[in-house]
Amino acid sequence: MQINKIRVHHIKLPFAFDFSHSLRKRSSAKNVIVEIIAEQGKIKGYGEGAPRSYVTGESQDSAVKSIQRFLKKSTFPWDLNDVSQIRDFVDSLSKDKDHNAAICALETALLDALGKRQNRYIMDYFSQDFIAGDVYYGVSIPLADKQTVSKLCQLSRKMNISKLRLKLGKDFEQNKAIIETVHSVFGKDCDQRADINCSWDKKLAFKHISLIEKYKIRVVEQPMALDDPDVADFAGAMQASGVVLMADESACSLSDVKKIAKEGYYKMVNVRLSKCGGFRKSLEIIDYLRSNKISFQTGCHLGESGVLSAAGRVLCLLCRDAVYYDGSYDNYLLKENITRENVTFGPGGKAGPLTGSGLGVKVSAQSLARLSKGATTATVLNPNFNRN
């Protein structure tokens, strides 16, 4: 399969409502879409990255520049015939986190194009050792007022979803109100994780212990800044309470995860495709976690389009041993999407494989054009095209 050209789009995905956490208040998400055009337009593959400055240090502009630079590498498979070419290409790229959203978008687009050309669902290209028939997603509750939290909890309960990820911040009283509101709707019938997004210091972290214990919060995700030395004391207190600390922003690369394993403070890791650099790098991290008996969840960035949701679905289905699954929020969070297919999970959070080849979704050219209007689009032609 000859790739003729590649386009990279800035897209802005509007939310149906504001979704806040301690690091950002969001009404939309700014992502990048890679569009691979092959076989004279007969094949189009799509991939998505969610660059977040507070996670990998990337922006839309930096991700586009990274992709343009990667396309100049001799290892890029302009003539793509086998998945091994994609693996070799990804292996030739940076091992650090600085380009992970860009790598995710490019790798996923290549896999989507190859799957469509070979009429295969991309899950076929990966090990089936931990494959699941279905997975069950949880729900994220934003850093919001009681009314909003109560409404979302009632919707979750109506859908029979009891795995909740609570976004908490620096305001103890607001956090207390969120946790109490969740309890008023669910009582003891829910599995709660608290996602702090690095916003606590030692004093505030210890202040929350009574709340964490009283309301049976099982997991506390990334409570402190990446290299805060006080995490050791808090980890000890959490272990004594039977609570697991989960790493997120501090676990973007395999080297990060090896450091986490050595230190021993975090007993769970949140693996997200865009944060961790796509399938190849994410699965390498997961294999390392498995071999070191460290648990993990497969997560997402809020504001993923159906393209990244579909990719995330594949990662989830490859990991029946994940403790939690987050993602596929499309219809619940986005005001408009770019995929024709609905990738949203169903009642109970249940979701299975998508039908069709590649990622299992088709992108609406009209929606992509509308949501990328006014933004920079880069086009790179096959350097060998005139000689082929």
Kindly report, residue by residue over 132-157, the tens digit of the pLDDT.
999 999 999 999 999 999 999 999 99
Q: What is the CATH number of the domain that holds 105?
A: 3.30.390.10
Q: What range defines the domain where residue 277 resides?
A: 125-351
Q: Is residue 356 part of a domain?
A: no
User: Looking at the structure, do residues 180 and 201 belong to the same domain, yes or no?
Assistant: yes
User: Looking at the structure, do residues 118 and 230 belong to the same domain, yes or no?
Assistant: no
What pLDDT is attached to residue 388? Answer: 43
CA distances from 45 to 33, 92, 148, 173 (A): 10, 21, 38, 47
Taking only the tens place, the pLDDT of each residue in 6-48 is 999 999 999 988 775 655 567 899 999 999 999 999 999 999 9
User: Looking at the structure, do residues 117 and 129 belong to the same domain, yes or no?
Assistant: no
Q: Considering only 18-22, 79-83, 91-95, 198-202, which range has the smallest mean pLDDT?
A: 18-22
pLDDT value at 57 more than 70:
yes
User: Looking at the structure, do residues 366 and 344 belong to the same domain, yes or no?
Assistant: no
Q: Is residue 357 part of a domain?
A: no
Q: Is residue 161 part of a domain?
A: yes
Q: Over the chain, what is the mean pLDDT? A: 95
Q: How many domains does the chain have?
A: 2
Taking only the tens place, the pLDDT of each residue in 301-310 is 999 999 999 9
Residue type at 143 in one-letter notation: L
- pTM of the prediction? 0.95
User: Looking at the structure, do residues 105 and 158 belong to the same domain, yes or no?
Assistant: no
What pLDDT is attached to residue 373? Answer: 85
User: Looking at the structure, do residues 207 and 249 belong to the same domain, yes or no?
Assistant: yes
Rounded to whole angstroms, how far apart are CA atoms 27 and 38?
Answer: 35
What pLDDT is attached to residue 21? Answer: 60
Q: Is residue 267 part of a domain?
A: yes
User: Looking at the structure, do residues 155 and 177 belong to the same domain, yes or no?
Assistant: yes
What pLDDT is attached to residue 25? Answer: 64
By three-state DSSP, how is residue 287 classified? helix
pLDDT value at 375 more than 90:
no
Q: What is the CATH number of the domain that holds 272?
A: 3.20.20.120
User: Looking at the structure, do residues 47 and 153 belong to the same domain, yes or no?
Assistant: no
Taking only the tens place, the pLDDT of each residue in 158-200 is 999 999 999 999 999 999 999 999 999 999 999 999 999 999 9
Rounded to whole angstroms, how far apart are CA atoms 166 and 147?
Answer: 15
